[in-house]
Amino acid sequence: MTGGLPEVLRIGPARLTAGLDRWDRMDLASHRAVFGSVPRPSAGQLIDMAEQVDLRGRGGASFPLARKLQAVRSAAQTRRCRPVILVNATEGEPGSAKDKSLLFRSPHLVLDGALIAAEALDARRIVVAVAGSGPHIGSVRAAVKTDPELAGRTRIVIVPDRFVSGEGGALVNAVNGRPALPPGRKVRASDRGVDGLPTLLSNAETFAQLATLAMLDADGYASVGTRSEPGTVLLTVGGSARRPAVVEAPSGTPLGEILDICEVAPAAGVLVGGYHGAWLPPDATETIPVSRSGLAAAGGTLGPGIILPIGPQTCALGEVARVAAYLAEESSGQCGPCMLGLPAVARSVAALVRGSGGMDSVDNARRRAAMVRGRGACAHPDGAFRFVASALDVFADDLAAHTFRGSCGHPVRGTLPLGGAETQARLTVDWTRCRGHGLCAKLAPEVIQLDEHGYPDILDMPVPPWLTRQAGQAVEMCPALALRLTTPLPSGREAALAAPEAALAAPEAVWDDVWDQDLSVTESWIAEIGGTA
């Protein structure tokens, strides 16, 4: 890994990854040595090229880029204004690293694509939206600063690092200084985006592909890939892969070949398309073409190009439950399917992992997942349905083991990444105090329900930002003072110092670290945490 990012591999000719076999990061000089000067096609020429190769967005929706370019040009001409170019490099999917890798290793390729579009559409401004922290942010800042064509017209905006932040409407809201949440109604960025102006919004890889297309022209671009989907795809392969990587491959490359180069051992299932994607059974993965049509024919989706295999020695159902809870927590909390439906889905999957309820639990999980489909204000509930429903089909053996034996016998290893959700506050119960009053379930029904005995059953997920007030109210109003909001402790010496009341339960490794730091533990301090000298 370089800069915390996975290595870059390729199958076939290098397009987006050209030069990365020589440089970890290409500055402006090395970029120009590999790619040459920035082409200057007109808007008509750029639209024609994008249409000839059917260039689609690579952020997940696969919208035709030619139609976006035409829509922005028409809106700007009608309103007699200059449009804005918006590069979506937020990459809210925890399993994705391709956009961050591009911005860190080959930032000028992404920026060239944005500049080509800006020149063609007569756009004065370019906005690059990033999220989180890491070397990709410093890299793109340096790239903008060193390129005289970009320095005066490009702004970098850091938005909240959440799953929904990359949704088009949420991103426009964030760039415009509003909460990074979907607007709840369909507003095309091409009509009204940054500062209310027509905006060309696409993800980082799409702009890199656009630059490659302009450099090669349509015929050169289409010299690799399939006839209907020419060019290359950029994929993030993780999960149980022994060699996680960002892989560039011609469209139509067999999935088995991509799994082989990343040293994926036989898997229990392979997730394609990220957490809004679908699971594929292992016996079907060898020859499936990695393309939009190829994966769709197999029941999957290309989406943002995420491939996450899961090994047979991992509790697949437990991994699915972790992600289902994560998707519930990461919703924007603006409509019923997200606020109530996704937590209900997560709770149903968690019940399957526990082996409670028998076959009724399986039917319940399927029914609850189906109830959120097509009813949300954005595509988040639909994606969660696809993820859960396909998992229940692919992991049927695992599901049967949990249903009839209570467990599959394998541990949950955290193979599927969850971003930073596991460090956020959670609701917990002090069972020595809880008397089953049930008030908490009335105040925060999204994450707390009552079991058959009237005691709180809390969904194993961080408290969503939109539920913070209700969760705090539930804690404050608990008659027995049994409900608490807790955050995971830091490790080592800081953990012992920050929360002495938890020190007696700390693992031995924490105390070894404390002793190594020559921390003095007095009898009075031990007494404060309820121990004896």
d(CA 253, CA 288): 8
Mean pLDDT calculated for residue range 400-426: 84
- On whether the CB atoms of residues 399 and 279 are closer than 8 A, the answer is no
Q: Identify the helix (H) or strand (E) that includes residue 210.
A: helix 204-221
Write down the CATH number for the domain with range 232-310. 3.10.20.600
d(CA 95, CA 326): 13
Mean pLDDT of the chain: 86
Query: b/e map of 137-167 (b: 16 or more CB within 10 Å)?
Result: bebbbebbeebeebeebbebbebbbbbbbbb
d(CA 205, CA 118): 16
- Measuring CA to CA, which residue among 505, 533, 507, 506 is closest to residue 521? 533
Lowest average pLDDT, out of 19-23, 98-102, 497-501, goes to 497-501
Q: What ranges make up the beta strands (E) of 185-305? A: 199-203, 232-237, 245-250, 269-272, 278-280
Q: Flag whether pLDDT at 491 surpasses 50.
A: no
Could you tell me the fold of the domain covering 316-405? de novo design (two linked rop proteins) (1.20.1440)
d(CA 266, CA 260): 10
| Domain chopping of the chain, boundaries | 7-221, 232-310, 316-405, 424-486, 493-528
Q: Flag whether pLDDT at 104 surpasses 50.
A: yes
Q: Flag whether pLDDT at 42 surpasses 90.
A: yes
Collapsed DSSP state (helix, strand, coil) of residue 445: coil
Under the banding of pLDDT at 50, 70 and 90, the label for residue 379 is: confident
> What percentage of the chain carries pLDDT values higher than 90?
62
Amino acid at the residue 272: V
Rounded to a whole number of angstroms, the CA Rg of the chain reads 25
- Measuring CA to CA, which residue among 171, 178, 210 is closest to residue 89? 171
Q: Flag whether pLDDT at 502 surpasses 70.
A: no
- On whether the CB atoms of residues 346 and 324 are closer than 8 A, the answer is yes
pLDDT in the model for residue 462: 83
> What percentage of the chain carries pLDDT values higher than 70?
89
Angle separating helix axes 359-372 and 380-394, nearest 10 degrees: 150
Mean pLDDT calculated for residue range 190-208: 96
Under the banding of pLDDT at 50, 70 and 90, the label for residue 92 is: confident
Q: 199-203 and 84-89 as β-strands: parallel, antiparallel, unpaired?
A: parallel
Q: Flag whether pLDDT at 60 surpasses 90.
A: no
d(CA 301, CA 239): 17
Mean pLDDT calculated for residue range 142-159: 94
Kindly report, residue by residue over 282-327, the tens digit of the pLDDT: 888 889 999 999 999 999 999 999 999 999 999 999 999 999 999 9
- On whether the CB atoms of residues 199 and 85 are closer than 8 A, the answer is yes
pLDDT in the model for residue 2: 61
Mean pLDDT calculated for residue range 406-410: 91
Amino acid at the residue 338: C
Write down the CATH number for the domain with range 7-221. 3.40.50.11540
Mean pLDDT calculated for residue range 450-464: 86
Mean pLDDT calculated for residue range 46-75: 95
Q: Flag whether pLDDT at 3 surpasses 90.
A: no
Determine the number of helices (DSSP H) and then strands (DSSP E) in the chain.
22, 14
pLDDT in the model for residue 164: 83
Kindly report, residue by residue over 322-348, the tens digit of the pLDDT: 999 999 888 877 777 778 888 888 888
**Residue of higher predicted confidence among 516 and 236:** 236
d(CA 462, CA 455): 20
Under the banding of pLDDT at 50, 70 and 90, the label for residue 359 is: low
State the CATH architecture for 424-486. Answer: 2-Layer Sandwich (3.30)
- On whether the CB atoms of residues 334 and 361 are closer than 8 A, the answer is no
Hunting for tokens 């925060």 — which residue is that? 444
Mean pLDDT calculated for residue range 477-487: 90
Q: Flag whether pLDDT at 122 surpasses 60.
A: yes
- On whether the CB atoms of residues 104 and 6 are closer than 8 A, the answer is no
